[in-house]
Structure 1
Amino acid sequence: MYITISAQKTNAGFPKSSGSFVKYLEKENEGLQPDEMEYFFDQSQDRIQPEQVIQEIDHNTAKLKQKEPKFYSITLNPSERELKAIKDAPQALREFTREAMKDYAKAFHREIDGRPVKVDDIKYYAKIERHRSFKGHDLQIRENQSFATKILALKNEIRNIEQGRQTGNIKALNKQIIKLEQKAPHQLRGQRIVRGMEKPGFQSHIHIVVSRKDRSNRYSLSPGSKHRASEVELHGKSIKRGFDRNQFFNNAEKSFDRLFNYQRNFAEAYQSRKLLLKEPKSYFLSLQKLPIKEQKLAFSLLQKAGINAPKLHIPKNNLELTLKAIHQLKRGVKRAIEAGSIGI
């Protein structure tokens, strides 16, 4: 499970309307019949039109300054293993989203009318997306890149010959291109994997548009707050403030496990990724201490995420840990996280 929270931003700053973002999230519905579409949903409704989402978010911005974000984007990215566990069922994804948003509300160190923030205070709209495409940071694209570079050079050579800028044998160059296409290490349905090609398998993830203001349009609820679980004196009153991202990420993960009786492996856990980034040696030691079955699954998950974990030098009989192995694993996990559809 990988979760992100970000304020939608453009070159000009924060957009005044959620319209462009909401329309972007409608891209998978293009050309579909109404009964085939994925609709926006919230805590109680399953079929919300995009026009309603835009109106509700855009009109819930009282007293926000021009330089403040009007809404945030949250993405819930279950791994392929997690999606298999729930059979990629839309209803299960909606159920998980609603539980995760309860965890989101609880992560605010704020009070509304003297009580903690509840999910009913949050104005949000979520949408399931089913597809992902390969991007430049994916393992398959990176390992195919040398072939892509050679193919591009040959195509440029052919273009120059056709336009009379140089001489050469176009037929022979085309044969070289065919051979390179076939030799590229990562193929899909008989074709070299390239950027923009749709990824196979379960790729479902959830986009959430959440208002900066609470449902009453009176309180600002910023998940981007740099203050965590603190209090400040304002107009003679003690005001709670802040948002705990670690709490949100941890609890959302636990909600998934509880809802679907999911047995989470060490390599899949948010706390493990955090441990890797902060204390890589402890991460290695924890991998070593796993039962054999769990250790094999952990290495399998790391490898699927694009990390050559089985090739790493991880001593079995002593505590010697090489910096090379640590850096390789950290770099691989970061790339896997950036890819979005990570296996961990």
Structure 2
Amino acid sequence: MYITITPQKMGGNYSKSSADFVSYLEKENLSFNQEDLEDGHLGIEHFFNQYDDEIAAAEVIKEIDGNTAKLEKTEPRFYSITVSPSKYELGKLQDNSIDLKKYTRELMKDYVASFNREINGRPLTIDDIKYYAKIEHQRAFKGSDIQVRENQPFATKILQLKTDIRKIENGTMEGNIKGKAKEIAKLEREAPHQQDGRRIVQGMQKEGSQGHIHIIVSRKDASNRFSLSPGSKYKASNVELNGKEIKRGFDRNSFFEKAEKTFDKTFGYHRNFAETYQARKDFIKDPKIYFAALMKLPTNEKALAFKLMGKAGVPMMPSIPVTQGQLAMKIFKGLRRGVEVAIKSSSIGI
């Protein structure tokens, strides 16, 4: 499970309107042609919230943009939450659209529960937030994906050969065009990562199930009176404001952990140690703790953990260590760098 929470910006400034972001989230619907829809393989995905389906994009923009009372220019108007289940998690779903929508509605209850806030002396409820979500089924390879990165040396050589061919054609360089074309074809075949017989490049659509969730959540509560920031640097604290003590803070750790537990409970998913938020956090902060825990797992669980890490693009050790004494710090540092890259590329996440 990979979850991000980000304030929406345009360049260095916070977006004044949600229109551009909503338009971006409509891109998949716009990519469908009539043939796709008639085949029944693809379908239009509408915005939805806790209670309503098929909400128009124009309504989303109107509601989010109209819910910004007393916010400063330096404050975000809304946040984007992106939820990307792994292929293993998606494999537990019966219907991506229906199940991811169901999960979103449970997830947003976890979101609310992670705030250390009260409204008029009572805890927040799901009815106190204003959000809209959308399911997408396509993803493209990014430059940070391991497949693109490991294919890059081949891409560089191919680009140079194509440049040489153009120079030969316009007379600024001598050479054999057919020979260079054969070199290009050879490099295309030898690139380590292929999909449908083609070298994987940035922007190529990923095959298989790629279901994920985009959520737009207003910075202000549903009454447009109170500010609710998941970007708060406070997990939980009290502060005095106008002579009155109020609670503040948002616990991201709690939210990420709840998100996993809710998914597992909802779909009967058995989460491996390597897939847990806490384990990945330990991996980055202190690999020794991570591997010490890993080595205590039952053999089957341990083997699956290493498989999951490999699939995520995390650099593996030459051999699985038998004792903690074999866990060299030099290898730890390399592993930590590797998992950080994997997390940023959305291969794995928190």
CA distance in 1, matches of 2:217, 2:282: 29
Q: 1:64 to 1:317 in 2, by over 3 A?
A: closer
Q: Is the 8 A contact 1:108 1:242 kept in 2?
A: yes
Q: Unaligned regions of 5+ residues in structure 1, if any?
A: none
Q: 1:12 to 1:266 in 2, by over 3 A?
A: closer
Cα deviation, 1:202-230, whole Å, max 9, x if unaligned, reads 11110000000000000000001112210
Cα deviation, 1:171-199, whole Å, max 9, x if unaligned, reads 11111111111111111111111111111
**Corresponding residue number in structure 2 for 1:209:** 216
Q: Is the 8 A contact 2:145 2:347 kept in 1?
A: no
**Corresponding residue number in structure 1 for 2:306:** 299
**Corresponding residue number in structure 2 for 1:28:** 28
Asked if 1:143 corresponds to 2:150, the answer is: yes
Which of 233, 236, 245 is matched with 1:238 structurally? Answer: 245
CA distance in 2, matches of 1:173, 1:318: 51
Asked if 1:280 corresponds to 2:306, the answer is: no
Q: Is the 8 A contact 1:57 1:211 kept in 2?
A: yes
Q: CA deviation at 1:253?
A: 0.8
Q: Is the 8 A contact 1:88 1:204 kept in 2?
A: no
CA distance in 1, matches of 2:93, 2:318: 32
Q: 1:214 to 1:260 in 2, by over 3 A?
A: same
SS across alignment from 2:91: helix
SS across alignment from 1:85: coil
2:273 partner amino acid = F
Asked if 1:332 corresponds to 2:338, the answer is: yes
Q: Is the 8 A contact 2:143 2:202 kept in 1?
A: yes
Q: CA deviation at 1:299?
A: 0.7
**Corresponding residue number in structure 2 for 1:112:** 119
Matched pairs, number: 343
The TM-score with structure 1 as length reference comes to 0.96
**1:7-86 counterparts in 2 under 5 A?**
7-30=7-30, 31-32=32-33, 36-86=43-93
Q: 1:116 to 1:260 in 2, by over 3 A?
A: same
**Corresponding residue number in structure 2 for 1:123:** 130
**Corresponding residue number in structure 2 for 1:342:** 348
CA distance in 2, matches of 1:185, 1:123: 46
Q: Is the 8 A contact 1:301 1:343 kept in 2?
A: no
Q: 1:198 to 1:54 in 2, by over 3 A?
A: same
Q: CA deviation at 1:64?
A: 0.5
Q: Unaligned regions of 5+ residues in structure 2, if any?
A: none
Which of 202, 205, 208 is matched with 1:198 structurally? Answer: 205
CA distance in 1, matches of 2:62, 2:108: 21
Cα RMSD for the two superposed structures: 1.6
Q: Is the 8 A contact 1:88 1:202 kept in 2?
A: no
Q: CA deviation at 1:317?
A: 3.6
CA distance in 2, matches of 1:242, 1:44: 26
Which stretch shifts more, 52-61 or 30-39?
A: 30-39
**Corresponding residue number in structure 2 for 1:289:** 296
